[in-house]
Amino acid sequence: MGKPLIQGTTVIARCYENRAAVLKVWDDCGNMVLLSDHDNFDRLKAGVDAITPIGFLRRDLYEYSRSLDTQIANGDPLNWNSMARLSALSRQD
């Protein structure tokens, strides 16, 4: 079994209709990982009013790469099959 994801790790999440979002890990709960956007993550860390992190299945998380930022920002489809899943890089559940 690999190491759990570290809080603050940036990941790419496969969302509804295969859209991609760049988010930060708030908590690793095994098969489920709680994620937050960057601004909200900072608010959570500061302990001020913030939106509750959203749970994603580990199988829908991918290694973040800056080279995909423009493609994600434009809403262009990603080739999910060519990307490294986090489940392969961390804990095997």
- Domains in the chain (CATH in brackets) are 10-89 (2.30.30)
Determine the average pLDDT of the residues in 9-38.
94
- Residue 36 near residue 54 (C-beta atoms within 8 A): yes
pTM: 0.86
For residues 69 and 54, give the distance between their C-alpha atoms in angstroms, rounded to a whole number: 21
In contact, 56 and 13? CB cutoff 8 Å? yes
Higher pLDDT, 66 or 92: 66
Amino acid found at 86: L
Under the banding of pLDDT at 50, 70 and 90, the label for residue 53 is very high
By the 8 A CB rule, do 90 and 2 touch?
yes
Contacts 24+ apart (CB under 8 A), 16-19: 18/77, 18/78, 18/80, 19/75
